[in-house]
Amino acid sequence: MDLFTEGEPIHDTRAPDGPIEERWDQRRFGGKLVNPANRRKLSVIVVGTGLAGGSAAATLGELGYRVKSFCYQDSPRRAHSIAAQGGINAAKNYRNDGDSIQRLFYDTVKGGDYRSRESNVHRLAQVSVEIIDQCVAQGVPFAREYGGLLDTRSFGGVQVSRTFYARGQTGQQLLLGAYQALERQVAAGTVEMFTRHEMLELIVIDGVARGIVARDMVTGEIETHTADAVVLASGGYGNVFFLSTNAKGCNVTATWRAHRKGALFANPCYTQIHPTCIPQSGEHQSKLTLMSESLRNDGRVWVPVAKGDTRAPGDIPEDERDYYLERRYPSFGNLVPRDIASRAAKSVCDEGRGVGPGGLGVYLDFAEAIARLGRDAVANKYGNLFEMYERITGEDPFEVPMRIYPAVHYTMGGLWVDYDLQSTIPGLFVIGEANFSDHGANRLGASALMQGLADGYFVLPNTISDYLSGGPFEKVGDDHEAVVAARKTVTDRIERLLSIDGDRTPDSFHRELGALMWEYCGMERTDEGLRKALDRIRELRTEFWGSVKVPGENEELNQALEKAGRIADFFELAELMCVDALHRAESCGGHFRAESQTPDGEALRDDENFAYVAAWEYTGEAPVLHKENLEYENVKMVQRSYK
């Protein structure tokens, strides 16, 4: 049987034609509006309360829509956006260093290895400017210069200083800003908050998204919630690898359930492997911790020149160290984009020059920065990151170089959306990391926060009105057959999971699936490996449904049951990721196919055959591929070079 079949191409019909600078204005002008008095008759469900979901729910509430907001955590403030450390990009050009909307647009398209949609990225760059204004007005305590004005720093893959930051906790501060705006709306009565609720199914009626089925994680009650539109802001699917920098609860269930109901899933194989994570310390490891990329501003990455050199780092003289990023990429040095830095680390470790346990690590050395800037200045800039490193490893980065290794961090793929951020199911909008639209095959540092907030504060609230203006929508009762059916799917699945009563824990399956994905669908992928992975995933999935053991019952707080349900969806996603990775026989961004590389080991794109977005349709059997061709009118496609 074929792994997939090819269907009709797909197009984004929402982005206006004309000069790229004017498209967003044109779209806003072209879209229909909803009269303020009518907004409160329209309801919207928002799933997820990260930067995208939190800001969207707050803004929709401010506009006057009736919003229901859902998160699986005990508070909307805990969504994993909170863990983003480094910063947020904005084309403010406060530094007068040549930045502009045009340059941010260009950098993002180039950084994404020419696999993103031009109009979306340009809009992102335009909106970036407003985000900073909005966040400052909310009281986000960005870093300041002595004069009281905003400070910025530079980040991987760019040569301007456009990243705004709040120490090493930018994501936290931005999320708390959105969270506070959200709680303000909860108090005002425009947003109803459902914490400890997990979306388990999408309700689609006559091809239109009309609600969700959610489980109250405290009582186990299966609830149906209907609305006029559904917004998914449920984040990425990096946890398919088990070990990642995502929070333990991050999962693909919301988007995967929507995919099964007809939403196309785009570019699932585009995974970002972050170069600066703390290496794994043992078998028991439950997650990986990122050290902000901003560390690469002052830290120098190196490994010993000689293979198997086990001397302490301090004992290795300067001329026996290989500062391989500075050597291979003289113009960007330690600040090359993430995909390049990660692969470079993997290749030196593959050569046997890795450091630390298992040889899976490279040094990130601050000795030179400490000598140049002084210990205090370094502590001021990176103090909390150094402390975090010391807490986890027991080593002081002021004394010995950090050891870092790449880890799964972000997923550029996600549900396919048009310029309005609407999926292929009318009424279903997808924002933030959960969609695929802005980062192409690789995301630049400090761009995730930018995209999440752009979507939530500025894009979705402007585009969703065009859809909602088509209302009033027919009222949907709980007894509607589609609602009843969706509910039954959920209860059946839970009953099935609870009744297997096998002999393996959910986590043991997740670990095995993760190891498989990391090995064959991680930093380097091959035709042979991916085929092997597909076979193994299918076997493992069968084993899961035959021998997983989920204790307890549904009508209680049951964390093992929550996990099992998520893992079941990860199995299906993993298969699609491998199929996507297999069909894309080129290297681009975070997707590196060993068969497609330049003589000196750099990723080799194949624009002639693969300059498209791969949007997959769920069929239950072999998925159907729909291609959206990428046309570049404003940026010329060239082979990326950071040398």
Nearest-angstrom CA–CA distance, 457 and 451: 10
141 is an interface residue for another protein by CB under 8 A? yes
Shortest separation between residue 157's beta carbon and another protein, angstroms: 23
- β-sheet bridge partners, residue 67: 44, 191
Question: Roughly what angle, to the nearest 10 degrees, separates helices 506-521 and 527-547?
Answer: 170
Q: Which listed range, 153-161, 225-233, 323-331, 398-406, lies at the site for another protein (CB under 8 A)?
A: 225-233
- CA 331 – CA 344 distance, rounded (Å): 16
* Among residues 48, 54, 76, 432, the one that binds another protein under rule CB under 8 A: 76
289 is a contact residue toward another protein (CB under 8 A)? yes
575 binds another protein (CB under 8 A): no
Whole-angstrom distance, CA of residue 532 vs CA of residue 473:
48
> Is residue 560 near another protein by the rule CB under 8 A?
yes
Q: Choose the binding region for another protein from 6-14, 59-67, 409-417, 525-533 (rule: CB under 8 A).
A: 59-67
Nearest one of 639, 577, 584 to 271, comparing CA atoms: 577
Q: Among 159, 180, 554, 597, which residue sits at the site for another protein (rule: CB under 8 A)?
A: 180
- Residue 528 touches another protein, criterion: CB under 8 A: no
Residue 23 is among the residues annotated as catalytic for this protein:
no
Among 186, 367, 373, 637, binds another protein (CB under 8 A): 186
Q: Give the per-residue contact string, 15-54, with another protein (x = CB under 8 A; - = no).
A: -------------------------xxxx-x---------
Nearest to 353 by CA among 392, 324, 389, 391: 324
Residue type, 432: G
Binding track, positions 398-437, relative to another protein; x by CB under 8 A: ----------------------------------------
Shorter beta-carbon distance to another protein: residue 187 or 312: 187
Least CB distance to another protein at residue 43 (A): 4
Tokens of 50: 């990260």
Binder to another protein among 114, 142, 155, 256 (CB under 8 A)?
A: 142
Say if residues 94 and 145 touch (Cβ distance below 8 Å).
no
Q: Is 133 in the site for another protein (CB under 8 A)?
A: yes
Residues between 252 and 281 that touch another protein (CB under 8 A)? 281
| Residue 94 near another protein by CB under 8 A | yes
With contact defined as beta carbons under 8 Å apart, do 277 and 85 qualify? no
Number of residues that bind another protein (CB under 8 A): 107
Whole-number Å distance between alpha carbons of 36 and 44: 15
The length of the chain in residues reads 643
The answer to the question of residue 338 lying near another protein (CB under 8 A) is no
Environment class of 424 (CB within 10 Å of its CB; exposed 0-12, middle 13-18, buried 19+): buried
Does position 92 interact with another protein (CB under 8 A)? The reply is: yes
Among 179, 405, 410, 610, binds another protein (CB under 8 A): 179
Judge contact between 177 and 140, C-beta under 8 A.
yes
Amino acid at 314: G
Rule CB under 8 A: is residue 68 a binding residue for another protein? yes
Among 18, 358, 551, 601, binds another protein (CB under 8 A): 551
Which residue from 295, 388, 450, 630 is in contact with another protein, where contact means CB under 8 A? 388
The one segment of 97-105, 145-153, 437-445, 512-520 that binds another protein by CB under 8 A: 145-153
* Residue 488 is a binding residue for another protein (CB under 8 A): no
- Ranges assigned E (strand) in 419-559: 428-430
Burial of 501 by CB count in 10 Å (0-12 exposed, 13-18 middle, 19+ buried)?
A: exposed
By CB under 8 A, which span of 105-113, 219-227, 319-327, 491-499 interacts with another protein? Answer: 219-227
Q: Which of residues 580-639 bind another protein (CB under 8 A)?
A: none
Stretch near another protein under the rule CB under 8 A, chosen from 15-23, 222-230, 319-327, 526-534: 222-230
Measured distance CA(265)–CA(285) in Å, rounded:
30
- The CA-atom distances, in angstroms, between 546 and each of 494, 498, 534 are 14, 11, 19
Closer by beta carbon to another protein, 11 or else 488: 488
- Characterize 586-602 residue by residue with b for buried, 16 or more Cβ atoms within 10 angstroms of its Cβ, and e for exposed: bbbbbbbbeebeeeeeb
577 phi, psi to nearest 5 deg = -60, -45
Contacts of 394 (CB under 8 A, 6+ apart): none
Question: Residue 484's closest CA among 219, 259, 262, 205?
Answer: 205
DSSP calls for 182-207: HHHHHHHTSEEEE-SEEEEEEEEETT
Binding region for another protein (CB under 8 A) out of 216-224, 365-373, 489-497, 536-544: 216-224
Q: Which of 78, 328, 338, 640 is catalytic?
A: 338
With binding defined as CB under 8 A, does residue 512 bind another protein?
A: no
Backbone angles phi, psi at 590, to 5 degrees: -75, -5
Smallest separation (angstroms) from another protein to the CB of 237 = 16
Between 266 and 291, name the residue whose CB sits nearer to another protein: 291
User: How far apart are the C-alpha atoms of 199 and 596, rounded to whole Å?
Assistant: 39
Binders of another protein among residues 358 to 387 (CB under 8 A) are 387
Note whether 605 and 544 are within 8 A (CB).
Answer: no
* Residue 126 in contact with another protein, rule: CB under 8 A: no
Q: Contacting another protein (CB under 8 A), which of 3, 7, 12, 83?
A: 83
Which CB, 186 or 624, lies closer to another protein?
186
Supply 6's token pair.
């090819």
Catalytic machinery residues: 338
